[in-house]
Structure 1
Amino acid sequence: MFTVIYLDNAATSAQKPEIVYETLSSFTRFHSANAGRGTSKESLFSLNAVINAQNAAAELFNISKPQNIAFTQNATHALNAAILGTLLKGGHAVTTVMDHNSVLRPLFRLGNFTAVPADRYGFVSPYELERAIRPDTKMIIISHASNVCGTVQNIKSAAKIARLRKIKLMIDAAQTAGILTIDNSVLGADFIAFSGHKGLMGPLGTGGLYVKEPDELEPVITGGTGSDSEALSQPRTMPDMLHSGTINTPAIAALSEGIKFILKTGTENIIAHERELAELFRSELLNMDGVTVYGSGGNGAIGTVAFNIDGADSFDACAMLSGFALRGGYHCAPLAHKALGTEKTGAVRASFGLFNTRAHAKALADAVFSAAAELRASNGRTFFQKPID
């Protein structure tokens, strides 16, 4: 039971459907045999749970080959597997300033990429995206929605550009899987990296990667897979190619139930609810003195709102709003903060989820109003700062 109002769903969905908790517990207690390692009933039961999760994810993303979905420890793991597995032998990549360090740091390590700029709302122009392509460009990586301010990018345009220029496209769906509709039969993305524990309502430490052409990806981590064990080379079939070592089958089984819950609820209903709450909160902030709001809002964003209280560092602002689980600072996205103009202060992020209510949005708005008024009354000094003699 939370002692605060939880509004940090961009980090993880701390509140999940009951079936997710039940499955994680029961699978851990009664079905923890190693998937794909042997022919015992329990091992086959675990393997079947993984296959069921693949099928659920394939239905969600409209993917025709469920076997091409591997499960990872998070979206960061998935992004690294695709980026390094495609570019370690060379090649240029195009990404955006709105992308997360899970994209930027692997690319920085490789040293051959362009980060396309965004406007002050966080939108990236498809024209600028295409203009950044070079003769040696192998990959476009685009975050579907910003983890800082929620701004949604035009992935259909990115997919069209990648298709016409014969470049691989990876969609970072960490913030949007289970929230926005992602139809890969239309997009044709080569990779989709997703978090399992955010919009998909799975346990912590879950994620996944869809790979369109496994033969064209070099596995970065190699080891025991339970298949082709007589060979020293890594199998090139999915998901074994990316499933080296023991996988977290109980968590994958619970993630499968989270995805089924999303499919039953409908992403169109989920995004409508989250946008309603975000817009209620955002509209309150826009009418307040001493509060600055970032990003686009409306249909151009998911249920994430970034803001600052004038005169307060974002960390101090979060401390003043201690009745709420929020996120201050730079959100592992330094270039996004530079684009939004918050590189010196960071920002406070409130991210609404399916289990939040209008009362939660209104309560936070009231708390921000009180904090801003308190700062104005104290001449911009928070209660964490000593007066200057």
Structure 2
Amino acid sequence: MIYFDNSATTAIKPKAVSKAVYEVLNSGTYGNPGRDSSDFSVHSSDVVNHAREQLKELFNVPSTELISFTYNVTESLNTVLKGLLQKGDHAIATNYEHNSVIRPLEQLKANRGVEVSYLPFDKNTGRLETEKLAELVQPNTKLLVCTHASNVTGYVLPIDEIADFCHEHNLLFIVDAAQTAGYEDIDIQKTGIDILCFTGHKSLYGPQGIGGICLRKPLEIEPLKSGGTGIQSFNPAMPDELPTHLEAGTINVPGIAGLSAGVSYVLDHGTENIRAGVKHLTDMIQDKLAEFPNIKVYTPRDVATTGVVSFNLEDVNAADVGQWLWDEYQIASRSGAHCAPKVHETYGTVEQGIVRLSLSSFNTEAEVNVLLKAIDQMMTESEA
């Protein structure tokens, strides 16, 4: 079996990840972090604190206090969007957004009267039409939120340019790094990202069920959840102190341990080296697809992209292509709408969907060569 669906979840992890999770769950020496002075609590606190230090280094966060753990990037985005936007506010997003951004925004629009505008992209080049940003700004615009890279095409958005625009117009800048954390170089201080939302189970090689929020500076965010924190137990409100303010209830220590091991892998190998290896493989795929004029490739080649190559074969339903790859060659891809409706509305693929191949640093040339053979066979059969 060959796994090319890493943009959904990296199925193959560093061995240290499962080892770290196993240690927490099976050693019998890890309890609830920060709840008492026993070794059980201290051991768990050490795991959590170490992970915050690693994320501080990876994303250049000013302080570990500005890093809060969640269960995934969807919860992170829901927390910050619903914790910041109120009636009368206006938000800007893009047509590249995943439903983890679109749905909270549309929910806020329906329930709180928040106004929302979406910046388009050029369907011919894939480029975000940043020159139209100024047209979307209103007197009540509070923030701009965007994905760092499209989960459909792999296109990396020009966040440096967007950040500069946000600073010029006094807007909060929120970045969904689901597709780029662990793959792209992310420096929230240098770039000026006010809030970075990430998940652990993709290019950070951690387990599912762990994510987080990184702040460039303290912000007043209404917590999405309220509950126990281990401190200020007689305070009916959530404590104001970060990161506790956004971490109600027992946090996912096994998940954090696994995330920590995944981040160690990224820090040890370096995002630049990881990108170079993956790009070599995606270039091989792009070169093969370019041989066939009846294949439409959606992943651009003249701009930065992640380890994604997306395509369609004429008017064949994407699900049929993905099923053929699995049935004939045991190649796992992802076909359909990818929870990004505005991307498909722009490309006119609402009914057809798109076939997405997404690679990680654990994929190999041998695996790609099998895919290239599969593409040759698929095209031969389609022409018969």
Question: TM-score, normalising length from structure 1?
Answer: 0.93
| Partner amino acid, structure 2, of 1:21 | S
Equivalent residue letter for 1:108: E
Does the Cα contact within 8 Å between 1:275 and 1:298 map onto a contact in 2? no
Instruction: Give matches, 1:1-389, under 5 Å.
Output: 4-30=1-27, 31-111=29-109, 112-120=115-123, 121-297=125-301, 299-322=303-326, 323-377=330-384
Q: Secondary structure at the match of 1:24?
A: helix
CA deviation map 1:336-359 (0-9, x unaligned): 122233222110000010001122
Residues 114-123 or 95-104, more deviating: 114-123
Give the whole-Å Cα distance in 2 for the aligned partners of 1:289 and 1:362.
Answer: 20
| Alpha-carbon shift at residue 363 of structure 1 (Å) | 1.5
Secondary structure at the aligned position of 1:59 is classed as: helix
User: Following TM superposition, by how much is the alpha carbon of 1:211 offset from its aligned partner in structure 2, in angstroms?
Assistant: 2.5
Deviations 1:93-139 (A, max 9, x none): 10000010000000011122111000113321222223211111111
CA contact (8 A) 2:188 2:194 kept: no
- State the alpha-carbon separation in 2 of the partners of residues 40 and 206 from structure 1: 25
Change beyond 3 A, Cα 1:215–1:155: closer
Number of aligned residue pairs = 374
Q: Tell me how large the CA RMSD over aligned residues is.
A: 1.3
Normalised by the size of structure 2, how large is the TM-score? 0.94
Aligned partners of 1:89, 1:48: CA distance in 2, in Å? 41
Asked if the contact 1:151/1:297 (under 8 Å) is kept, the reply is: no
Q: Aligned partner of 1:141: which letter?
A: V
Contact 1:145 1:173 in 2 (8 A): yes
State how far apart, in whole Å, the 1-side matches of 2:377 and 2:103 are.
38
Alpha-carbon distance in structure 2 between the residues aligned to 1:358 and 1:169 = 38
1:376 CA drift (Å): 2.7
CA distance in 2 between partners of 1:101 and 1:207 (Å)? 17
Percent identical residues: 38
Report deviation, 1:55. Answer: 0.7
Distance 1:131 1:279 in 2: 36
* Distance across 1 between alignment mates of 2:341 and 2:280: 28
Report the Cα offset of residue 362 of structure 1: 2.3
- What stretches of structure 2 of length at least 5 have no aligned partner? 110-114
Q: Distance in 2 between matches of 1:50 and 1:252?
A: 6
Match of 1:387 in 2: none
Q: Secondary structure at the match of 1:166?
A: coil
CA distance in 2 between partners of 1:134 and 1:274 (Å): 40
Please, which runs of 5 or more residues in structure 1 have no aligned partner?
Answer: 378-389
Superimposed CA distance per residue, residues 277-325 of structure 1 (whole angstroms, 9 cap, x where no aligned partner): 1111011001124321112135421110111122421111111001111
Moved more, 305-314 or 148-157: 305-314
Q: Distance in 2 between matches of 1:282 and 1:360?
A: 15
- Rounded to whole Å, the distance in 2 between the matches of 1:89 and 1:211 is 23
